[in-house]
Amino acid sequence: MLRIYASLPLRGPTGWAGRDILRGAELAVDRAGHADVELVTLDSLGADRDGRAAANARRAAEDAAAVAYLGDFHSSQVMRSAPVLGAAALLAVTPSATYSGLGGPTLVRLMPDDGALARGIAEWARGTGIRRALVVHDHDDGYGVPVGMMCAQALQAAGLDVRSRPVWDHEDGIAADVSGMEAVLYAGVAGTGAAGLWHALHRLDGALWLLGTDGLAVDRFAQALAAGAAARTRLFTAQRGPWGFYGYEAAALILDSVAAGGGDRLAVMEAARGTRDRDSALGRYSIDEDGLTTASADGRLAVVDGEVVWDRAR
């Protein structure tokens, strides 16, 4: 019996996403009908979630029957589990982690990274006719600061007039910074003041585009927005569909790689990392030399009636 280990959050704030990924993976395994392949589920939630991911990776690495590892969910977890799995020559397929600094000899990433997200935002802004934009980032050195820098660089490369700054401590200085801008892009997470900032920006200029990275795509933020601000809001994500699609494709890629590699760890990993022009529920993609998908990051969300929904308008 060969084993695929799935390390995902099954409880807590991201438990719903982890469960959706797991259901997709289970469906792929069921449909493949491999009686000799078992999916072993490990909960990655814990007081020290990154430590839990490392422990899950060690368990998989030490199991001689393990041929692949589906996970982890958060980028910080992958940073801990990928070295363990790499040392054991065990394929790791993360369906969700986007941090640009991730890597490892056995790691495959199905979600485009933050650099691709920044380029997707810039492409939309240019196509919308935006010429001047202010990029505002939170103070998180692991997300807001680097992603804000990537966004500013991508917007400049797209031909926009761009300025960048940290998020304001008080509303007093906002008006001067926003003057003459056509869009404000916030790179960060939805803290307690995010909706208030959105409303302050909308009061200054009702025509201003209010853009955000995927850290703002949460229910509490959408529910707090007034209708006027919501109508001018667009949120961007590397995600191209429901989480279940990512779980399904992660498991399907692993199963195809197991079939190609005959159950040998090294051969399975090489088959997955050698993926080229694969047609999937996520569209056609290849895996580049760094283990990253070549898919574009063009997911776009709107806020309608207090809910985050896919924005289908072009």
CA-CA distances (angstroms) from residue 46 to 32, 84, 102?
Answer: 32, 19, 22
3-state SS, residue 70: strand
Judged on CB neighbours under 10 Å (0-12, 13-18, 19+), 192 is exposed
Tokens of 125: 């802004």
Query: Residue 29 contacts by C-beta under 8 Å, 6 or more apart in sequence?
Result: 4, 37, 39, 251, 255
pLDDT at 248: 98
Give domain limits for the chain: 2-112+240-283, 114-237+300-310
**Integer Cα distance of 225 and 260 in angstroms:** 50
DSSP for residue 167: P
pLDDT at 240: 85
| Spans of the chain below 70 pLDDT | 312-314
Single pTM value for the model? 0.91
pLDDT at 142: 86
HSE at residue 73, side-chain half, CA atoms within 13 A, is 26
Residue 8: its H or E element: strand 2-8
Tokens of 269: 């990993």
pLDDT at 313: 59
Query: Residue 308 contacts by C-beta under 8 Å, 6 or more apart in sequence?
Result: 217, 218, 219, 222, 235, 301, 302
**CATH of the domain spanning 2-112+240-283:** 3.40.50.2300
Angle at 230 between CA 232 and CA 140, to 5 degrees: 90
Same fold, 2-112+240-283 and 114-237+300-310: yes
Between the two ends of the chain, the Cα-to-Cα distance in Å is 48
**CATH superfamily name and code, 114-237+300-310:** Response regulator (3.40.50.2300)
Amino acid found at 222:
A
At 43-53, the pLDDT tens digits run 999 899 999 99
* Residue 208 near residue 183 (C-beta atoms within 8 A): yes
Tokens of 33: 């009908």
Helices (H), 103-242: 114-128, 144-157, 174-178, 194-204, 219-224, 227-231
Query: Residue 47 contacts by C-beta under 8 Å, 6 or more apart in sequence?
Result: none
